[in-house]
Amino acid sequence: MAILETKNLTYTYGVGTPFEKTAVESVSISVEKGEFVGVIGHTGSGKSTLIQMLNGLIRPTAGQVLLDGHDIWEKPKEIRRVRFQVGMVFQYPEYQLFEETVIKDIMFGPKNMGLSDEEALERAKEAAKFTDLKPELLEKSPFELSGGEKRRAAIAGVIAMDPEVLILDEPAAGLDPKGRDVILAQISQYHEHRKNTVLLVSHSMEDIGRTADRVLVMNNGHAEMLEETRTVFSRGELLEPMGLRLPQITSIMRRLRAMGLPVSETVLSVDEALMELIPLLAPKKKGEVQPK
Protein backbone atom coordinates (compact mmCIF):
# COMPACT_ATOMS: atom_id res chain seq x y z
CA MET A 1 0.00 0.00 0.00
CA ALA A 2 1.34 3.42 -1.00
CA ILE A 3 1.90 5.74 1.94
CA LEU A 4 3.18 8.59 -0.21
CA GLU A 5 2.20 9.30 -3.79
CA THR A 6 2.56 12.16 -6.24
CA LYS A 7 0.39 12.79 -9.28
CA ASN A 8 1.75 15.05 -12.03
CA LEU A 9 3.56 17.07 -9.39
CA THR A 10 4.97 20.33 -10.73
CA TYR A 11 6.64 23.36 -9.21
CA THR A 12 7.72 26.52 -11.03
CA TYR A 13 9.78 29.24 -9.37
CA GLY A 14 9.23 32.91 -10.25
CA VAL A 15 6.01 32.42 -12.22
CA GLY A 16 5.37 35.40 -14.51
CA THR A 17 8.87 36.84 -14.08
CA PRO A 18 11.93 36.74 -16.38
CA PHE A 19 13.43 34.23 -13.91
CA GLU A 20 10.64 31.68 -14.27
CA LYS A 21 12.01 28.14 -14.00
CA THR A 22 10.27 24.80 -13.60
CA ALA A 23 12.22 22.80 -11.01
CA VAL A 24 9.92 19.75 -10.91
CA GLU A 25 7.69 18.78 -13.81
CA SER A 26 4.89 16.19 -13.93
CA VAL A 27 6.43 13.80 -11.40
CA SER A 28 4.23 10.80 -10.60
CA ILE A 29 5.75 8.35 -8.11
CA SER A 30 4.51 5.96 -5.44
CA VAL A 31 6.35 5.00 -2.23
CA GLU A 32 5.16 1.97 -0.28
CA LYS A 33 4.75 1.85 3.49
CA GLY A 34 7.97 0.66 5.14
CA GLU A 35 10.22 1.22 2.13
CA PHE A 36 13.71 2.74 2.25
CA VAL A 37 14.03 4.86 -0.89
CA GLY A 38 17.21 6.60 -2.02
CA VAL A 39 16.87 9.86 -3.98
CA ILE A 40 19.70 10.81 -6.32
CA GLY A 41 20.28 13.43 -9.00
CA HIS A 42 22.81 16.02 -10.08
CA THR A 43 22.76 19.52 -8.55
CA GLY A 44 19.70 21.29 -9.92
CA SER A 45 17.88 18.06 -10.78
CA GLY A 46 14.86 19.01 -8.65
CA LYS A 47 15.30 16.55 -5.81
CA SER A 48 15.38 19.17 -3.02
CA THR A 49 12.29 20.95 -4.37
CA LEU A 50 10.52 17.59 -4.66
CA ILE A 51 11.14 16.51 -1.07
CA GLN A 52 10.05 19.91 0.27
CA MET A 53 6.72 19.43 -1.51
CA LEU A 54 6.32 15.99 0.06
CA ASN A 55 5.83 17.45 3.54
CA GLY A 56 4.11 20.67 2.57
CA LEU A 57 6.98 23.12 2.93
CA ILE A 58 6.37 24.12 -0.69
CA ARG A 59 2.92 24.11 -2.27
CA PRO A 60 2.91 22.62 -5.80
CA THR A 61 2.18 24.80 -8.79
CA ALA A 62 0.21 21.85 -10.16
CA GLY A 63 -0.47 18.22 -9.27
CA GLN A 64 -0.97 16.47 -5.93
CA VAL A 65 0.90 14.95 -3.02
CA LEU A 66 -1.12 12.14 -1.42
CA LEU A 67 -0.36 10.93 2.11
CA ASP A 68 -2.23 7.73 2.98
CA GLY A 69 -4.42 8.47 -0.06
CA HIS A 70 -5.36 12.03 0.96
CA ASP A 71 -4.22 15.24 -0.72
CA ILE A 72 -2.04 17.01 1.86
CA TRP A 73 -3.36 20.40 0.66
CA GLU A 74 -7.01 19.36 0.95
CA LYS A 75 -7.19 21.40 4.18
CA PRO A 76 -4.47 24.08 3.92
CA LYS A 77 -5.01 25.28 7.49
CA GLU A 78 -4.04 21.79 8.75
CA ILE A 79 -0.82 21.47 6.73
CA ARG A 80 1.16 21.65 10.00
CA ARG A 81 -0.15 18.18 10.90
CA VAL A 82 1.37 16.80 7.70
CA ARG A 83 4.81 17.94 8.86
CA PHE A 84 4.44 15.84 11.99
CA GLN A 85 3.59 12.79 9.83
CA VAL A 86 6.29 13.48 7.22
CA GLY A 87 9.38 14.53 9.17
CA MET A 88 12.17 16.41 7.42
CA VAL A 89 15.85 16.48 8.36
CA PHE A 90 17.58 19.20 6.35
CA GLN A 91 21.18 19.28 5.22
CA TYR A 92 23.35 20.52 8.13
CA PRO A 93 20.40 20.22 10.56
CA GLU A 94 22.63 21.15 13.52
CA TYR A 95 22.27 24.79 12.43
CA GLN A 96 18.66 24.56 13.68
CA LEU A 97 19.63 23.70 17.28
CA PHE A 98 18.67 26.51 19.62
CA GLU A 99 17.50 25.30 23.06
CA GLU A 100 19.41 25.55 26.35
CA THR A 101 20.03 21.81 26.54
CA VAL A 102 20.14 18.90 24.11
CA ILE A 103 17.18 17.16 25.72
CA LYS A 104 15.02 20.31 25.47
CA ASP A 105 15.91 20.61 21.79
CA ILE A 106 14.87 17.01 21.11
CA MET A 107 11.64 17.56 23.09
CA PHE A 108 10.68 20.64 21.06
CA GLY A 109 8.93 18.75 18.24
CA PRO A 110 6.89 16.39 20.43
CA LYS A 111 5.76 19.31 22.64
CA ASN A 112 4.62 21.22 19.53
CA MET A 113 2.51 18.17 18.67
CA GLY A 114 0.63 18.74 21.92
CA LEU A 115 2.23 16.00 24.00
CA SER A 116 2.71 16.49 27.73
CA ASP A 117 6.16 17.19 29.17
CA GLU A 118 6.34 13.60 30.43
CA GLU A 119 5.42 12.11 27.02
CA ALA A 120 7.78 14.45 25.19
CA LEU A 121 10.62 13.56 27.56
CA GLU A 122 10.04 9.84 27.09
CA ARG A 123 10.08 10.22 23.31
CA ALA A 124 13.17 12.42 23.44
CA LYS A 125 15.10 9.89 25.51
CA GLU A 126 14.12 7.07 23.16
CA ALA A 127 15.17 9.13 20.12
CA ALA A 128 18.49 10.02 21.79
CA LYS A 129 19.09 6.33 22.39
CA PHE A 130 18.34 5.54 18.73
CA THR A 131 20.95 8.08 17.61
CA ASP A 132 23.49 6.91 20.21
CA LEU A 133 23.61 10.17 22.17
CA LYS A 134 25.09 9.35 25.58
CA PRO A 135 22.88 10.27 28.60
CA GLU A 136 25.55 12.62 29.96
CA LEU A 137 25.25 14.77 26.82
CA LEU A 138 21.53 15.43 27.19
CA GLU A 139 21.85 18.15 29.84
CA LYS A 140 24.64 19.94 27.97
CA SER A 141 24.17 22.90 25.66
CA PRO A 142 23.86 21.63 22.07
CA PHE A 143 26.66 24.05 21.17
CA GLU A 144 29.10 22.10 23.36
CA LEU A 145 28.71 18.97 21.24
CA SER A 146 31.02 17.79 18.48
CA GLY A 147 29.90 18.09 14.85
CA GLY A 148 28.71 14.48 14.69
CA GLU A 149 26.93 14.73 18.04
CA LYS A 150 25.11 17.90 16.91
CA ARG A 151 24.00 16.09 13.77
CA ARG A 152 22.67 13.16 15.79
CA ALA A 153 20.86 15.50 18.20
CA ALA A 154 19.14 17.27 15.29
CA ILE A 155 18.09 13.96 13.73
CA ALA A 156 16.82 12.78 17.14
CA GLY A 157 14.59 15.87 17.29
CA VAL A 158 12.75 14.74 14.16
CA ILE A 159 12.70 11.05 15.11
CA ALA A 160 11.12 12.01 18.47
CA MET A 161 7.99 13.12 16.60
CA ASP A 162 7.66 9.52 15.35
CA PRO A 163 6.77 10.49 11.76
CA GLU A 164 5.23 7.93 9.43
CA VAL A 165 7.71 9.08 6.78
CA LEU A 166 11.23 10.31 7.56
CA ILE A 167 12.97 12.35 4.84
CA LEU A 168 16.68 13.06 5.21
CA ASP A 169 18.46 15.52 2.93
CA GLU A 170 22.19 14.69 2.87
CA PRO A 171 22.29 13.74 6.59
CA ALA A 172 25.98 12.76 6.46
CA ALA A 173 27.21 15.83 4.53
CA GLY A 174 30.40 17.31 5.92
CA LEU A 175 31.15 14.46 8.32
CA ASP A 176 34.37 12.45 8.33
CA PRO A 177 34.14 8.82 7.08
CA LYS A 178 33.66 7.42 10.59
CA GLY A 179 30.93 9.94 11.44
CA ARG A 180 29.25 9.23 8.12
CA ASP A 181 29.20 5.49 8.78
CA VAL A 182 27.76 6.04 12.27
CA ILE A 183 24.92 8.26 11.03
CA LEU A 184 23.97 5.88 8.20
CA ALA A 185 24.10 2.82 10.46
CA GLN A 186 21.79 4.53 12.97
CA ILE A 187 19.32 5.55 10.24
CA SER A 188 19.26 1.95 8.98
CA GLN A 189 18.75 0.59 12.50
CA TYR A 190 15.95 3.09 13.10
CA HIS A 191 14.25 1.99 9.88
CA GLU A 192 14.57 -1.71 10.72
CA HIS A 193 13.22 -1.20 14.24
CA ARG A 194 10.35 1.19 13.49
CA LYS A 195 9.39 -0.29 10.11
CA ASN A 196 8.49 3.18 8.90
CA THR A 197 9.19 4.78 5.52
CA VAL A 198 12.52 6.51 4.89
CA LEU A 199 13.60 8.69 1.97
CA LEU A 200 17.33 9.44 1.89
CA VAL A 201 18.68 12.14 -0.43
CA SER A 202 22.40 11.78 -1.05
CA HIS A 203 25.13 12.59 -3.56
CA SER A 204 26.98 9.49 -2.33
CA MET A 205 26.15 6.51 -4.50
CA GLU A 206 27.91 4.31 -1.93
CA ASP A 207 25.52 5.44 0.82
CA ILE A 208 22.49 4.83 -1.39
CA GLY A 209 23.78 1.48 -2.58
CA ARG A 210 24.16 0.04 0.90
CA THR A 211 20.94 1.37 2.44
CA ALA A 212 18.12 1.79 -0.10
CA ASP A 213 15.56 -0.80 -1.27
CA ARG A 214 14.69 1.32 -4.31
CA VAL A 215 16.21 4.42 -5.89
CA LEU A 216 14.48 7.46 -7.38
CA VAL A 217 16.60 9.15 -10.04
CA MET A 218 15.79 12.83 -10.66
CA ASN A 219 17.06 14.54 -13.81
CA ASN A 220 16.20 18.04 -15.02
CA GLY A 221 13.03 18.10 -12.95
CA HIS A 222 11.78 14.69 -14.08
CA ALA A 223 11.64 11.31 -12.36
CA GLU A 224 13.77 9.23 -14.75
CA MET A 225 13.67 5.98 -12.74
CA LEU A 226 12.18 4.51 -9.59
CA GLU A 227 13.47 0.95 -9.46
CA GLU A 228 15.17 -1.54 -7.16
CA THR A 229 18.65 -0.39 -6.21
CA ARG A 230 20.48 -3.15 -8.12
CA THR A 231 18.44 -2.45 -11.22
CA VAL A 232 19.25 1.28 -11.14
CA PHE A 233 22.97 0.72 -10.62
CA SER A 234 23.06 -1.86 -13.41
CA ARG A 235 22.27 1.00 -15.82
CA GLY A 236 25.54 2.90 -15.68
CA GLU A 237 25.21 3.84 -19.34
CA LEU A 238 22.03 5.78 -18.49
CA LEU A 239 23.27 7.32 -15.22
CA GLU A 240 26.57 8.69 -16.48
CA PRO A 241 25.01 11.11 -19.05
CA MET A 242 22.94 12.49 -16.13
CA GLY A 243 26.15 13.32 -14.23
CA LEU A 244 25.78 10.36 -11.87
CA ARG A 245 28.36 7.67 -11.24
CA LEU A 246 28.09 4.13 -9.99
CA PRO A 247 29.26 3.18 -6.48
CA GLN A 248 33.04 2.65 -6.65
CA ILE A 249 32.83 -1.03 -5.74
CA THR A 250 30.23 -1.59 -8.47
CA SER A 251 32.52 0.07 -11.04
CA ILE A 252 35.45 -2.11 -9.94
CA MET A 253 33.43 -5.31 -10.23
CA ARG A 254 32.17 -4.32 -13.68
CA ARG A 255 35.76 -3.82 -14.81
CA LEU A 256 36.76 -7.21 -13.41
CA ARG A 257 33.88 -8.84 -15.25
CA ALA A 258 34.92 -7.07 -18.47
CA MET A 259 38.39 -8.60 -17.95
CA GLY A 260 36.80 -12.05 -17.94
CA LEU A 261 36.42 -12.80 -14.24
CA PRO A 262 33.15 -14.60 -13.34
CA VAL A 263 31.82 -11.95 -10.93
CA SER A 264 28.50 -10.13 -10.65
CA GLU A 265 28.42 -6.56 -11.97
CA THR A 266 25.61 -5.51 -9.63
CA VAL A 267 27.64 -5.72 -6.40
CA LEU A 268 26.79 -2.81 -4.09
CA SER A 269 29.10 -3.25 -1.08
CA VAL A 270 32.62 -4.34 -0.19
CA ASP A 271 31.20 -7.30 1.76
CA GLU A 272 29.36 -8.52 -1.33
CA ALA A 273 32.52 -8.08 -3.41
CA LEU A 274 34.49 -10.20 -0.95
CA MET A 275 31.90 -12.98 -1.19
CA GLU A 276 32.40 -12.95 -4.96
CA LEU A 277 36.20 -12.69 -4.97
CA ILE A 278 37.32 -14.97 -2.13
CA PRO A 279 36.30 -18.21 -3.93
CA LEU A 280 38.32 -17.05 -6.95
CA LEU A 281 41.41 -16.51 -4.79
CA ALA A 282 41.22 -19.89 -3.04
CA PRO A 283 43.95 -22.41 -4.04
CA LYS A 284 42.79 -24.70 -6.83
CA LYS A 285 42.70 -28.41 -6.12
CA LYS A 286 44.66 -30.68 -8.40
CA GLY A 287 42.81 -31.22 -11.64
CA GLU A 288 40.30 -28.43 -10.92
CA VAL A 289 39.53 -26.17 -13.86
CA GLN A 290 39.36 -22.39 -13.26
CA PRO A 291 35.79 -21.19 -13.99
CA LYS A 292 35.33 -18.94 -17.00
**Is residue 289 over pLDDT 70?**
no
User: How confident is the model at residue 54, as a pLDDT?
Assistant: 97
Torsions phi, psi for 58 (to 5 deg) = -125, 135
In a 13 Å sphere around the CA of 156, the CA atoms on its Cβ side amount to 31
Query: What pTM, to 2 d.p., does this model score?
Result: 0.89
At residue 169's C-alpha, the angle toward residues 163 and 175, to 5°, is 115
Q: Say which residues have a Cβ less than 8 Å from residue 245's Cβ, sequence separation at least 6.
A: 205, 236, 239, 251
Quick one: pLDDT band at residue 142, thresholds 50, 70, 90?
Answer: very high
pLDDT tens column, 50-71: 999 999 999 999 999 999 999 9
Distances (CA, A) of 230 to 93, 114, 214, 283: 30, 42, 8, 31
Domains and their CATH numbers in the chain: 2-237 (3.40.50.300), 247-281 (no CATH)
CA–CA dist 23, 63 (Å, integer)? 14
Residue 240, burial from CB neighbour count under 10 angstroms (0-12, 13-18, 19+): exposed
- Give residue-wise pLDDT tens across range 234-272: 999 999 999 999 999 999 999 999 999 999 988 998 889
Region 103-132: what's the mean pLDDT? 93
- Reduced to 3 states, what is the DSSP secondary structure of residue 91? coil
Q: What is the pLDDT of residue 291?
A: 53
